[in-house]
Amino acid sequence: MVSKSQEEYLKTIYVLSRQSEAVRVTDIANKMNCSKPSVNKVLHSLKDNRTC
């Protein structure tokens, strides 16, 4: 199950991916006004929780 916070990260990744071919941690951090380590932490948690 994805948390509200993780959902916001996924939405941001989707929006950024529509604007550019590659989405970097820096892009996500800048868009969400958070730190790169925070983005990495969420991305790792999403990766660990994937079901496919």
Number of domains forming the structure of the chain = 1
pLDDT at 25: 98
Any residues with CB less than 8 A from the CB of 12 and at least 6 apart, and which?
28, 31, 32
pLDDT at 33 over 90: yes
> Between the CA of residue 13 and those of 22, 49, what are the distances in Å?
10, 17
Structural domain of 34: 4-49
Mean confidence (pLDDT) of the chain: 94
Q: How many CA atoms lie within 13 Å of 47's alpha carbon, on the beta-carbon side? A: 6
* pTM score of the predicted model: 0.88
pLDDT at 1 over 90: no
pLDDT at 39: 98
